[in-house]
Structure 1
Amino acid sequence: MNQYSPTVDVHAHVLLPEVDALVAGLPGHAEAGQLDARRNGPAALAVNGPMVGERIPRLTDPAVRLAAMDAQGVDIQLVSPSPSHYHYWADEETAEKFHRLANEATAAHCSAAPARLHGLGLVPMQHPEMAVRALEHALDQGLLGVEISSHAPGRRELSDPAYEPFWARAEESGAILFLHPFGCTLGDRLDHWYLSNTVGQPAENAVALSHLIFSGVLDRHPGLKLLAAHGGGYLPTHIGRADHAWRVRPDAQDCAHAPSSYLKRLHFDSLVHDPYVLRELIRVAGADRVLLGSDFPFDMGTEDPLGALRAARLPEADFDAVRGGNATALLRLRKD
C-alpha cells in the first residue's frame, strides 16, 4: 500500500448468509421475493443466479476479497452489505434481529483485515423510529456508517419528516450514509432487457437525491456525510432542469438555494461507465466530491476501477483525489 496515498474503493459489497438464513421462510419474505422477480423479469433472473453464484467467494471470503483487491490495485475497500439484505418488508421484531446480525456480520468480515476493510451497516428504514438505534448499533460495532435505499415501502420517501431524528444523529456522529437503491418504483415497465437496473437504479438515485434537496433536508443538516452510488444517477447531468424549476416554480422552492449548489455538499462514487459522464460529474460536483467506486464484485460494476478512472483523462491532482484522497478524508483514514 502506498502509505501516502492509498487507493480506496467505496462501493464494494459483502453477502451475509446469516441474514438470509434468519429471514428465510418468514411472513413477507416470499412476497418480497416475488415482487422483485416481477420487477426484474424472468430473463434477468436466469442470469442473476449464476452470476451471483460465481461471485460467492469474493462476496463472503475475506482472503479471496483481498486477493481480488490486490489484482485491481485497490488498497482499501468500504464494504457494504448487498442491497438484497435490506428486507424493508420486515416487522419491527424481525428488523431488530436482522439489522443487528447484519451489522455484526459485516464488522466480523472486515475484522479479518482491519487496515484494508472498513464496513457499513444497515438500518430498518421502514421503521423510522428504530433508525437512530440501529445507526448507533452499527457505530458501536466499529462500522463507519450505514447503507440506505432510495425509499422505503409504502411510498415513504427520504424527505419524510419521520426521518429527521435519523438525519440529525447521522450528522452529529459523522456517520457515512451510503445511498444505494434496490428495486425501482417504475415496476413492470422495466421488466425487460435488465431495464430494472440500467434505467431503474439511476432513476431511483435521482429521485431520492431530489427529495433530500428540494425538501430542505440538506439545509437543516448541512453536515450530513451522504455518499450516492452510481454517480448520483441521472441527477448530476440533468441538474440544470432542477435549477430552472427552482427559479420559476414557487412549488419547487422549499430548499434555500439552487439545487445544483447541493451537489457540492454531497459525495458520489465514480461508477458511471462513461469517462465523459465522469468528467461532467466532477465538473458539477467538484473533484473533491467524487470517490472511486467499483460495485465489487457484481457484473454491473467494473473489474478495473482504476482503468475506468484513467479513461476520464483527469488532471493529476483530480485523479489522485478521486483515486483515494477524497475517501481518505471522508472516511477519516490514517495516511501512515
Structure 2
Amino acid sequence: MLKIDIHAHFLPRDWPDLAAKYGDNRFPVIHHGEDGRHRIYKDGKFFREIWPKTWDPEIRIEDYARFGVQVQVISTVPVMFSYWARPHHALELHQALNDHIAEACRAHPRHYAGIGTVPLQSPSLAVRELERCMDELNLQGVQIGSHVNDWNLDAPELFEFFEAASELGAAILVHPWDMMGAASMPKYWLPWLVGMPAEQSRAACSLIFGGVLERLPKLRVCLAHGGGSFPYTIGRIEHGFRMRPDLVATDNFRNPREYLGRLYYDSWVADTRALRYLLDTCGVSRVMLGTDYPFPLGEQEPGAGIEALGLDEADKARLYHGTALEWMGLPKSRFE
C-alpha cells in the first residue's frame, strides 16, 4: 500500500550564515564539529543536534523503507521561519531552504513531495515566494507558523496570503512555533509538551473565528500534531461560542464544530485512544499519516499508531495516502 508521511522535516547540510552576514545571532546557524556531531545554534546558544538523515535524501529513503513508507512530504524546521527578521533577510533564508527542498523532489520524484516556507512578516513577499514555490519549484504548498509575531492567523494583514494560497491551490501545513508562555515555562521541556498543542488550537480558532476559512472555502489547511489541543477541546470551544457569542462570535457566526471537517490533521498524537477520537470526531477523510521525522518527539515507527487501531483496508488507504493526495492536489500516479 502506498504510504505518504506528510510531516517530515528536512534541512540542508549547510545554509547561509545570516547571523554573521547581518550581525544578528537570532538567525540559526549550523556547526559541524570535528567530533562528527552537527549542532544548530541560535541566540548564541545550543538549540538542537541534527543528523545526516536530516538532509541526506538517500539515507532518509532507506530509513523509511524499513517501515514500508515510500513518500515523504518534506518541510523545513520551524526555527528557520525567522518571522522576527527583516523581511528581505528572512526571504534570503527561505529561498535557500525552498531551493534545497525542490532539488530533493526533482532528484527523487517517487519518494518526495515538498512544501516550502515564506516570510509571512511581509505578506506581499510571502505571496511572491509562494508563487515561486508553486510555479517555478513545483512544490505543493507551504508550511507556516501558528502565529506571526503579534499577528494571529486571522490578522487582516495575512488575508492576502491565504487568498493567494487558495487561488493557487496550495496546501498549507500549520506548525506550532514560538510557543506561548515559553518564558514562564523554562523547565521540563514544557514549551514543547504544553505550548505546542495550545499553539495549534490558537491557530485553528483564529482561522475559524476570524472567518478566514469561511471566506476561503477552497483553502486546504492541515494542522500538524493532530490539531494540537483543538479537536480535544472543541466541546469547550463550542460551549463558549454558544454562551458568550458577544465575545466569541464577533467575526463569524458559524458554529466552530462545523469546521472540524474542513481542516486536515496529521496522525501523530502519541496515543492510540487520542487517534481514535480524532478519527471519530473529524473523520477518517480528514486525517493523514504524519510523523514529525526525524526528531525524538515524533513517531519513531511511522504508521504504528494507525496500525494499532485495527482499521479496514479502505480506511487505512485513506489515512496512508488518500487524504494526503487530496490535500496536496496530486494524483496517485505521481508516486508510481
TM over 0.5: yes
Partner residue in 1 for 2:120: 125
Cα distance, 1:330 vs structure 2: 2.2
- Deviation of 1:110 (Å): 2.1
Does the aligned pair in 1 maintain the 2:260–2:282 contact within 8 Å? yes
Once the two structures are TM-superposed, the CA of residue 178 in structure 1 deviates from its matched residue by 0.6
CA contact (8 A) 1:28 1:89 kept: no
| Amino acid corresponding to residue 15 of structure 1 in structure 2 | L
User: What corresponds to 1:100 in structure 2?
Assistant: 95
Amino acid at match of 1:291: M
Give the secondary-structure state (helix, strand or coil) at the position aligned to 2:294: coil
Does structure 1 retain, via aligned residues, the 8 Å contact 2:169–2:329? no
Give the corresponding residue for 1:78: 73
Structure 1 residue 32 displacement after superposition: 6.3
Asked if 1:279 corresponds to 2:276, the answer is yes
**8 Å Cα contact 1:219-1:256 kept in structure 2:** no
Corresponding residue SS for 2:66: helix
Aligned mates of 2:326, 2:212 — CA distance in 1: 23
What is the alpha-carbon distance in structure 1 between the residues aligned to residue 310 and residue 275 of structure 2?
10
* Displacement of 1:317: 2.6
Give yes or no for the alignment of 1:257 onto 2:258: no
Partner in structure 2 of residue 206 of structure 1: 201
Aligned AA (1:238): T
2:152 maps to 157
CA distance in 2, matches of 1:27, 1:88: 15
Deviation, structure 1 residue 182? 1.7
The correspondence of residues 1-336 of structure 1 with structure 2, limited to 5 A, is 2=1, 6-19=2-15, 21-27=16-22, 29-31=24-26, 49=48, 52-53=49-50, 56-139=51-134, 140-153=136-149, 155-249=150-244, 250-253=246-249, 254-336=251-333
CA contact (8 A) 2:275 2:305 kept: no
Amino acid at match of 1:268: Y
Counterpart-to-counterpart distance in 2, 1:305 and 1:239: 27
Residues in 1 aligned to 2:310 and 2:184: alpha-carbon distance in whole angstroms: 37
Contact 1:148 1:180 in 2 (8 A): yes
Q: Distance in 2 between matches of 1:279 and 1:28?
A: 49
Q: 1:257 to 1:315 in 2, by over 3 A?
A: farther
Instruction: Provide, for residues 140-174 of structure 1, a one-character-per-residue CA deviation record: whole Å limited to 9, x for no partner.
Output: 21111111001112x11111001111111101111
1:11 Cα deviation (Å)?
0.4
- Asked if 2 retains the 8 angstrom alpha-carbon contact of 1:232 and 1:268, the reply is yes
Q: Conserved in 2, the CA contact under 8 Å of 1:171 and 1:225?
A: yes
Larger helix share, 1 or 2: 1
Amino acid at match of 2:332: K
1:292-331: CA deviations, max 9, x gaps?
Answer: 0011111010121221211233344322211222112222
Q: Per-residue deviation at 1:206? A: 0.7
User: Deviation digits for residues 240-269 of structure 1, max 9, x if unmatched?
Assistant: 111111112122112232111111001000
**Distance in 2 (alpha carbons) for counterparts of 1:80 and 1:304:** 19
Q: 1:29 to 1:228 in 2, by over 3 A?
A: farther
The answer for unaligned runs of 5 or more in structure 1 is 34-44
What CA distance in whole angstroms lies between the structure 1 residues aligned with 2:21 and 2:229?
36
Stretch of structure 1 that moved more, 230-239 or 120-129:
120-129
What amino acid does structure 1 have at the position aligned with 2:79? S
Does the Cα contact within 8 Å between 1:213 and 1:255 map onto a contact in 2?
Answer: yes
Residue aligned with 2:5, SS = strand
The one-letter amino acid paired with 2:175 is H
Moved over 6 A (4+): none
| CA deviation after TM superposition for structure 1 residue 18, in Å | 4.1
Q: TM-score, normalised by structure 2?
A: 0.89
Contiguous gaps of at least 5 residues in structure 2: 29-44
Q: Measure the CA separation in 2 of the matches of 1:28 and 1:149.
A: 24
2:42 is matched with none
TM-score (norm 1): 0.89
Q: Which has the higher contact order (CA 8 A, sep 6+)?
A: 1
**1:35-78 CA distance string (max 9 Å, x none):** xxxxxxxxxx87x64xx33xx21111110011011012111111
Equivalent residues of 1:149, 1:181 under 8 A apart: yes
User: Do 1:32 and 1:89's aligned partners in 2 also have CA atoms closer than 8 Å?
Assistant: no
- Distance, in Å, in 1 between the alignment partners of 2:132 and 2:313 is 39
Q: CA deviation at 1:215?
A: 0.8
Q: 1:59 is aligned with what amino acid? A: T
Inter-CA distance 133–279: structure 2 relative to 1 (3 Å threshold): same
Counterpart Cα distance in 2 of 1:314 and 1:288 = 13
